[in-house]
C-alpha cells in the first residue's frame, strides 16, 4: 500500500518542497554546529547519538583527530534505519526524507569544515546556546516537515517499536529520545548535559509548532449570554465574522441557553469583550487559543491541501 502521494517532477510545488528541505537542512545544521555539539548537548535523535560518538572517538582515528564527524555518523545511522523502516513499515519514507537527512548531514560537516575554529562554540553561555540552538533546529525541522518529509532517525525506531508493541507513537518517541539523552549522561558523566538537553528538546518542539501552525493565533470563543441576539448582530455586522448557536441548559436554573461559538482575531476579542461587558456584564465567556482555523474567512481548506 502506498502512503506517499506522487508529485510531478519540476513542478512549482516540487521546487517549493525541495527549497524548504534545502533551507531547512542548512538552518538545522547551523543549530547543531554553532550551538549544540560544541557544548556536548545531546538533544535526542541520530545526531544526538552522533555527538556522543564524536567525542568518544576523539584521538582514536589519525584521519579524524577530533572524532568521527557528526554529520557522517548521522548519515551512517540514518541509511540503515530508513531501509529497515521501508521494509517493516512500508513506503512511508519517500525520496524527500532521504534528501533531507543527506543534506542535513552534509551541511553539518561542511559548515564545521568551513569554520576556522571547527567545533568551538559560537557563544560560551550554555543556556543561551540551548535557546538559539533549539530554535534553529526546530525551525529547520519545521521547514522540512512542511515539505511533507520526515526527520527519519529515531522517529523510525519509535514507529517500528509501535508496530510490534501497540504503544502510542508519541510516547515512544519521547522514550527513544530520553534513552539517547541518558546515553549522553552515561558517557560524559555530567548531570548538566541531560538537563540542558531537555531544554533544547522542549524549545525545538515549540519552534516546530510555530513553523507548522504559525504565530498569528486566532481565538475561539464560547459565549453564554441572555443578550445572544445582540451579540450575534455585533459579530455578523461589525466584526463581519460567522458563528454557531449551540443549545444548552443551565445546570443550576435548568433554563434553556443559547451558546455562541465563534472564532475571531486577537484584536476582535477585545472589541467583543468590551461590547458584551456593556450590554450583559453577567455574560460567561471562554476564550481559547485556536492555532489553525480552516474555512470561510480564514485559511481555505482546499488551498491548504493543494499547497501540500
Quickly state the pLDDT bin for 113 (edges 50, 70, 90).
very high
Same domain, 153 and 122: yes
Length, in residues, of the chain: 308
Q: Determine contact, residues 51/184, Cβ cutoff 8 Å.
A: yes
pLDDT for residue 72: 95
Residue 232 located in a structural domain: yes
Q: Which of 148, 181, 213 is the last residue of a domain?
A: 213
Same domain, 79 and 202: yes
pLDDT above 90 covers a percentage of the chain that reads 46
Same domain, 250 and 294: yes
Same domain, 53 and 69: yes
Same domain, 177 and 235: no
Same domain, 193 and 240: no
Q: Which of 159, 184, 213 is the last residue of a domain?
A: 213
pLDDT at 136 > cutoff 60: yes
pLDDT at 153 > cutoff 90: no
User: Where are the alpha helices (H) located in the chain, listed in sequence order?
Assistant: 12-31, 45-56, 70-89, 95-114, 126-146, 154-165, 169-188, 192-213, 228-233, 266-279, 301-307
pLDDT above 70 covers a percentage of the chain that reads 87
Same domain, 73 and 113: yes
Quickly state the pLDDT bin for 2 (edges 50, 70, 90).
very low
Q: Which among 47-51, 59-63, 248-252 has the top mean pLDDT?
A: 47-51
Over residues 53-62, mean pLDDT: 92
Same domain, 85 and 179: yes
Domain that holds residue 239: 218-307
Same domain, 222 and 209: no
pLDDT for residue 137: 93
Q: Quick one: which of 70, 68, 67, 48 has its CA closest to 153?
A: 48
pLDDT tens readout for residues 232-251: 999 999 888 889 999 988 88
Number of domains in the chain: 2
Count of CB atoms within 10 A of residue 177's CB?
23
Same domain, 19 and 41: yes
Count of CB atoms within 10 A of residue 195's CB?
14
pLDDT for residue 76: 93
pLDDT tens readout for residues 280-303: 999 999 998 876 666 665 565 555
Quickly state the pLDDT bin for 3 (edges 50, 70, 90).
very low
pLDDT at 81 > cutoff 90: no
pLDDT tens readout for residues 216-234: 568 899 999 999 999 999 9
Amino acid at each position: 500500500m502506498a502512503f506517499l502521494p506522487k508529485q510531478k517532477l519540476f513542478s512549482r510545488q516540487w521546487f517549493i518542497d525541495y527549497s524548504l528541505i534545502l533551507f531547512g537542512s542548512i538552518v538545522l545544521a547551523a543549530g547543531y554546529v554553532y550551538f549544540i555539539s560544541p557544548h556536548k548537548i545531546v538533544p535526542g535523535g541520530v545526531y544526538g547519538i552522533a555527538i556522543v560518538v564524536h567525542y568518544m572517538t576523539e584521538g582514536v582515528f589519525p584521519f579524524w583527530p577530533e572524532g568521527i564527524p557528526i554529520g557522517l555518523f548521522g548519515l551512517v545511522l540514518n541509511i540503515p534505519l530508513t531501509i529497515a523502516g521501508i521494509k517493516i513499515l512500508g513506503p512511508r519514507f519517500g525520496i524527500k526524507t532521504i534528501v533531507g537527512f543527506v543534506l542535513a548531514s552534509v551541511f553539518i560537516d561542511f559548515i564545521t569544515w568551513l569554520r576556522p575554529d571547527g567545533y568551538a562554540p559560537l557563544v560560551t553561555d550554555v543556556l543561551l546556546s540551548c535557546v538559539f540552538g533549539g530554535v534553529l533546529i526546530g525551525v529547520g525541522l519545521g521547514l522540512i516537515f512542511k515539505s511533507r518529509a520526515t526527520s527519519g532517525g529515531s522517529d523510525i525506531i519509535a514507529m517500528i517499536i509501535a508496530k510490534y508493541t501497540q504503544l502510542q507513537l508519541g510516547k515512544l518517541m519521547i522514550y527513544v529520545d530520553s534513552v539517547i539523552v541518558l546515553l549522553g549522561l552515561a558517557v560524559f558523566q555530567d548531570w548538566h548535559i541531560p538537563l540542558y538537553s531537555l531544554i533544547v528538546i522542549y524549545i525545538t518542539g515549540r519552534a516546530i509548532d510555530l513553523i507548522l501552525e504559525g504565530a498569528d493565533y486566532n481565538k475561539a470563543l464560547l459565549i453564554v449570554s441572555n443578550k445572544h441576539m445582540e451579540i450575534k448582530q455585533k459579530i455578523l455586522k461589525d466584526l463581519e465574522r460567522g458563528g454557531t448557536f449551540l443549545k444548552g441548559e443551565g445546570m443550576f436554573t435548568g433554563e434553556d441557553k443559547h451558546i455562541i461559538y465563534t472564532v475571531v482575531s486577537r484584536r476582535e476579542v477585545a472589541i467583543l469583550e468590551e461590547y458584551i461587558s456593556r450590554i450583559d456584564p453577567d455574560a460567561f465567556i471562554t476564550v481559547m487559543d485556536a492555532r489553525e482555523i480552516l474555512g470561510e474567512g480564514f485559511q481555505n481548506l482546499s488551498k491548504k491541501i493543494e499547497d501540500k
